Amino acid sequence: MAQMDLAGGAHAFAEAGGRVATVAVDAMTFHRPVQVGDQVSCYCSTVRIGTTSIAVKVDTWVRRRHDWTEEQVTEGIFTFVALDDSGRPRPVEGDSSD
CATH number of residue 50's parent domain: 3.10.129.10
CA dist 24 and 22 (Å) reads 6
Residue 98 domain flag: no
Domain boundaries, position 40: 2-82
In this structure, is residue 94 part of a structural domain?
no
Q: 91 in a domain, yes or no? A: no
- Is residue 10, in this structure, part of any structural domain at all? yes
- Average pLDDT in the chain: 94
Is the pLDDT higher at 97 or at 27? Answer: 27
> Would residue 53 count as lying in a domain?
yes
What does the pLDDT read at residue 94? 57
At residue 54, φ and ψ (nearest 5 deg) are: -135, 125
Q: How many domains does the chain divide into? A: 1
Q: What is the pLDDT of residues 9-49, one digit of tens each?
A: 999 999 999 999 999 999 899 999 999 999 999 999 999 99
Q: Is residue 88 part of a domain?
A: no
